Structure 1
Amino acid sequence: MDGVTAPDAEHRVADAVRGHWVDRRAPRAVRPYLRLARIDRPIGWWLLLLPCWWSAALAAIASGAAYPDPAHLALFFIGAVAMRGAGSTYNDIADRDLDAQVERTRSRPLPSGQVRTRQAALFLVAQALVGLAVLLQFNRTAILVGIASLVPVAIYPFMKRVMPVPQAVLGLAFAWGALMGWVAVFGRLDAPALLLYGGTIAWVVGYDTIYAVQDIEDDEIAGIRSSARFFGRRMRGAIGLCYGASAALIGAAAILAGTGLAGLVGVGLFAGHLARQVLRLDTRDGRGALGLFRSNRDAGLILFLGLAADALIRHLVSG
């Protein structure tokens, strides 16, 4: 695989955003690396970032602040983009042979030959160093918690080969930000952060099962395990249970943090958005499933805005 020359260096990744600036304006030499980091698929870093912002907003409510710390929000943004890129690069290195067997993923930079494995590994290190630089801006406990996130990140790519629901391990990794926003403010982990983490894991399993609808047939041929394959005809019900658990646990976290009406309305609207996804899901429609998966950015932003508004309202009232 390392010696393959890309037959088409301009080959757009199958599930990338159409007309993205990476494919139109980025220098040709760097396009494969931007694709490797999933810059042309921003939904990934959004889904990594939003739990950080939820946690920061809950911490603002609990601490009596008027709003989440802007510096923390900015650091989480930079860290999410960098670590999403690093995680994706690592995943693609581990899965390069499997990806070549799946229609949606064989156009990725490594299986298509646009980037060699050694080049990808160096790019991985560069992105990880950016993430480390961001992490070092936080308190000691937050740094230790952040480093611990590398465990589920490291093992996830290999779970597709042995676990019937590898999305559970993905949830452990992608939900980690639900701990970070809280520990960055308080220097410890409390019940609201842990409940938020549990709810976010359930959210990740739900939305990634929707995402996996695109690959069911190819995954069966390649022997790749996924929650979509495991749940089969029970998929909509299973996603509904995941989303129901997510809303319940996040709601409990909000209540324990002292959230008022505005924040709970945000939780309710978030839950309603998730219910709408389940009702609209057609397990035979991969393109539609991709659209529903991407809509989780909007669901997450709704929740964040509700929690942030609650912090501001409570601060104004108490002041």
Structure 2
Amino acid sequence: MTPFRVLSRASRRLPKPSLPRSHLSAVSTYQPTAKPNYPNTPLIPFDHKHRWIPSYLDSDLRFVAHLSGSSSSNKDENHRVGDDPKPEASWIDVYLPRQARPYAKLARLDKPIGTWLLAWPCMWSITLAASPGYLPDIKMLTLFGCGALLLRGAGCTVNDLLDRDIDTMVERTKLRPVASGLVTPFEGLCFLGFQLLLGLGILLQLNNYSRVLGASSLLLVFSYPLMKRFTFWPQAYLGLTFNWGALLGWAAVKGSIDPAIVLPLYISGVFWTLVYDTIYAHQDKEDDLKVGVKSTALRFGDSTKEWIAGFGILCICSLALSGYNAEIGWPYYALLAAASGQLAWQIWTVDLSSRIDCNRKFVSNKWFGAIICSGILLGRLSS
């Protein structure tokens, strides 16, 4: 018996590999480009089942993806479930020196939405304090704009220092400078002192009443990051903190506070914050449950849209009351109606299960603030 016949009979006794019929075409057309070294070839799975093929097939034909037919579908499924955008390089990574980048990111300079949300109540108040028929104080607008940038950065630094252990366990925050180790706690404290020193320089340019009122807001700034450990309402506490400028802006122009005008304005900002920050908190609800911190997103659950719709209505009503008490002109109410539509659009269309959409709706609140400020400006000029 020849060696060829021996090998032929032996090969017929070996179990034949089983492949789905849909995959036979891909197998029959495959032509290896080089003779494989079978004993040294690592094995990898090519589909959902417990079948294995040599890895050289993948490099020649992308054989794994073709046979399984699941690579693209798995990718789409993972995108829907995780719904996380890939991190992109910001202007900080492009233009700033390497040593300055962690501190710029610690102050969130690459994410200006927080500065806008902090600045708008200040701008509302300063514009509302202008005399009828006149533009608002440009110097005050500039000072408060710079102050919002510095105070927001200082608040983020405090937040990251106090939450560094929590941030490491949350997907969205684990790469923040302090949590990732790019900035040590001591370096973070030094940077916080620098920010507060610059903020003090701005505060000293205001009247004495405003200095005391502005300094008192630091208690809220430093205590806010701790609230999520004790209450399901940290968003309400953030509202008290972020809208302090509604009180301070009027005081900086007038030297005192008119409760009938300023308090409804401040309260409207608190309700506005409850809307946008509850939407924002839905990005982290799974991680918050694991870590054990609280938020209105967890408190409201499936009833979130009903709650934030109520907060939105109270926000608009408070803004209307403030404008009425300030005897502002009709353009204010026209733009208040437009702002109501923008807020209703957020609440109605937000997909609370999508991190990307929650973030998109959250960022859109800069336009709500701009519409209200434009209404106050035109209302004052026409009154």
Asked if 1:199 is matched to 2:286, the reply is no
1: CA distance between counterparts of 2:120 and 2:333? 17
State the match for 1:73 in structure 2: 141
State the match for 1:289 in structure 2: 358
1: CA distance between counterparts of 2:253 and 2:181? 44
**Counterpart amino acid of residue 89 in structure 1:** T
Q: 1:137 aligns with which of 196, 202, 205?
A: 205
In 2 relative to 1, CA 132–65 (structure 1 residues): closer, same or farther, beyond 3 Å? Answer: farther
Query: Could you say what secondary structure the match of 1:44 adopts?
Result: helix
State the match for 2:338 in structure 1: 269
2: CA distance between counterparts of 1:227 and 1:187? 36
State the match for 1:99 in structure 2: 167
1: CA distance between counterparts of 2:90 and 2:133? 38
State the match for 2:381 in structure 1: 312
State the match for 2:157 in structure 1: 89
Tell me which stretches of 4 or more aligned residues in structure 1 moved more than 4 Å.
Answer: 14-19
State the match for 1:209 in structure 2: 278
In 2 relative to 1, CA 18–249 (structure 1 residues): closer, same or farther, beyond 3 Å? Answer: farther
- Compute the displacement of 1:37 (Å): 0.2
1: CA distance between counterparts of 2:213 and 2:179? 34
1:16–1:40 contact (8 Å) kept in structure 2: no
Query: Could you say what secondary structure the match of 1:110 adopts?
Result: helix
Asked if 1:119 is matched to 2:151, the reply is no
- Compute the displacement of 1:313 (Å): 2.5
State the match for 2:124 in structure 1: 54
Between 1:246-255 and 1:265-274, the stretch displaced more is 265-274
In 2 relative to 1, CA 208–16 (structure 1 residues): closer, same or farther, beyond 3 Å? Answer: farther
- Compute the displacement of 1:15 (Å): 8.1
State the match for 1:317 in structure 2: none
Q: 1:252 aligns with which of 321, 324, 328?
A: 321
State the match for 1:43 in structure 2: 113
**Counterpart amino acid of residue 271 in structure 1:** S
In 2 relative to 1, CA 43–16 (structure 1 residues): closer, same or farther, beyond 3 Å? Answer: farther
State the match for 1:228 in structure 2: 297
In 2 relative to 1, CA 37–15 (structure 1 residues): closer, same or farther, beyond 3 Å? Answer: farther
State the match for 2:17 in structure 1: none
2: CA distance between counterparts of 1:121 and 1:302? 37
Q: 1:242 aligns with which of 296, 311, 317?
A: 311
2: CA distance between counterparts of 1:45 and 1:217? 27
1: CA distance between counterparts of 2:199 and 2:316? 29
2: CA distance between counterparts of 1:17 and 1:253? 41
1:266–1:304 contact (8 Å) kept in structure 2: no
2:132–2:382 contact (8 Å) kept in structure 1: no
Query: Could you say what secondary structure the match of 2:97 adopts?
Result: coil
Instruction: Give me the CA root mean square deviation.
Output: 1.4
Asked if 1:25 is matched to 2:84, the reply is no
- Compute the displacement of 1:299 (Å): 0.8
1:262–1:310 contact (8 Å) kept in structure 2: yes
1: CA distance between counterparts of 2:141 and 2:230? 36
2:281–2:297 contact (8 Å) kept in structure 1: yes
2: CA distance between counterparts of 1:243 and 1:16? 32
State the match for 1:9 in structure 2: none
- Compute the displacement of 1:65 (Å): 5.1
Asked if 1:109 is matched to 2:174, the reply is no
Identity %: 41
1:260–1:310 contact (8 Å) kept in structure 2: yes
- Compute the displacement of 1:64 (Å): 2.4
2: CA distance between counterparts of 1:17 and 1:132? 34
State the match for 2:257 in structure 1: 189
Asked if 1:279 is matched to 2:348, the reply is yes
State the match for 1:5 in structure 2: none
Bigger relative contact order (CA 8 A; separation at least 6):
1
**Counterpart amino acid of residue 103 in structure 1:** E
In 2 relative to 1, CA 311–19 (structure 1 residues): closer, same or farther, beyond 3 Å? Answer: farther
Name structure 1 gaps, 5 residues minimum: 1-13, 315-319
1:15–1:104 contact (8 Å) kept in structure 2: no
Taking structure 1 as the reference length, the TM-score comes to: 0.91
1: CA distance between counterparts of 2:135 and 2:89? 35
Q: 1:301 aligns with which of 353, 362, 370?
A: 370
- Compute the displacement of 1:27 (Å): 1.1
Name structure 2 gaps, 5 residues minimum: 1-83
1:49–1:177 contact (8 Å) kept in structure 2: yes
2:153–2:195 contact (8 Å) kept in structure 1: yes
Aligned length: 299
1:141–1:187 contact (8 Å) kept in structure 2: yes
**Counterpart amino acid of residue 245 in structure 1:** L
2: CA distance between counterparts of 1:52 and 1:158? 25
In 2 relative to 1, CA 244–289 (structure 1 residues): closer, same or farther, beyond 3 Å? Answer: same
Q: 2:214 aligns with which of 146, 155, 158?
A: 146
